[in-house]
Amino acid sequence: MKKLVEAFPKQLDEALKIGIGYKFKSTSKKFQNVVITGLGGSGIGGSIVQNFCFNLISVPLVVNKDYFLPAFVNEKTLVIVCSYSGNTEETLEAMDAALNAGATIVCITSGGKIGEIAKDNKLDCILVPSGMPPRSCLGYSMVQILFALAHFKLIGLEFVAQIQASIKLLDEGQKDIIKSAKSLSKKISGKLPIIYSSPAYEGVAIRFRQQINENSKLLCWHAVIPEMNHNELVGWRDNAEDKAVIIFRNSDDYARVNARIDINKAVFKKYTKNIFEIESKGDSYFERAFYLIHLTDWVSVILAEIRELDATEVKVIDFLKGSLAKI
């Protein structure tokens, strides 16, 4: 897993080449809405893209992590189907619903049943390299979502330059990123991580939580400021020295959100001294987002090392899938 994390900048570069080289079958058309459907490591890219597109896309964009699709899906909907293996049970059912609804479908996968269904139905299907854990292939899948949206003129191609700049940022800063990740990992080891971010970076916070879950084999939660100021903040009332607060800070965070974070920190300090901030780097959204993702991916695998665990092992998920297969 460490080698896969280290190769993330290279993966982004390869993902750009795949997206630039893909020739879409579907012609450009007007859509009333967009649904990105996928789960886990295959679905998190949709959440991050949704954050990126918040101020760019002029139609509703929904991220779906279910067997079913929203009732509004019809022939005027673009459905982007994301499943790294191509065999994700929930995503296969959602894809079938999209076919029945007459939606325009773009698949992003390494093959599997989704690849076969796409071929049989002459659907757009962007193939990415196979043979890796889905959570280690965020760059491959997420970049293709962006190219699909750009093809249908729902967004521009400004993301390409941002990702190219991100690759340079991560390559040049790799040593410092690993150093920062090692330092943070030691500080939060043995504690339950609580991750806070502004709304624009919630997808990145979810990614960190999921990596802590799968790679580090730890429970973890995340929340967004200001939403948590209306509920979770009240829960800060008891000693919490067994917890570690990790706050993402970004140069484009809204001023009122920054003020809230500072006030929240004063509350947290009453109950725990374990409060850590990660300041992102970069001049664009994706530079900042990918910096945070790369650093926190490193944290998740270093924590696994500290815990003397195999970051790639997910036996309990294999057990779940095996049990479901018997039903």
How would you write 229-247 as a 3-class SS string? HHCHHHHCCCCCCCEEEEE
Q: Tell me the sheet residues that pair with 279.
A: 249
On whether the CB atoms of residues 252 and 198 are closer than 8 A, the answer is: no
Residues 6 or more apart whose CB falls under 8 angstroms from that of 153 comprise 28
- What does the CA dihedral 144, 61, 35, 112 come to, rounded to 10 degrees? 20
CA 305 to chain centre: 23
104-109 sheet: strands from edge to edge: 61-64, 33-37, 77-83, 104-109, 124-127
Q: Count CB atoms within 10 A of the CB of residue 210.
A: 19
Helical packing angle, 8-21 and 285-306, nearest 10°: 140
Which residue is catalytic, options 90, 202, 214, 287?
214
Contacts 24+ apart (CB under 8 A), 27-31: 28/151, 28/152, 28/153, 29/104, 29/152, 30/76, 31/59, 31/76, 31/77, 31/78, 31/104, 31/152, 31/154
* Helix and strand totals (H; E) in the chain: 11, 9
Task: Please confirm, yes or no, whether 230 is among the known catalytic residues.
Answer: yes
Helix (H) or strand (E) holding 88: none
SS3 call for 253: coil
Closest C-alpha to 210, from 201, 221, 223, 199: 221
Q: Which of 3, 23, 230, 315 is catalytic?
A: 230
Catalytic residue among 119, 168, 179, 321, which? 321
**For this structure, is 113 an active site residue?**
no
Q: What tokens were used for 116? A: 């076969």
Rounded Cα distance, 16 and 164, in Å: 8
Residues tagged active-site: 214, 230, 321
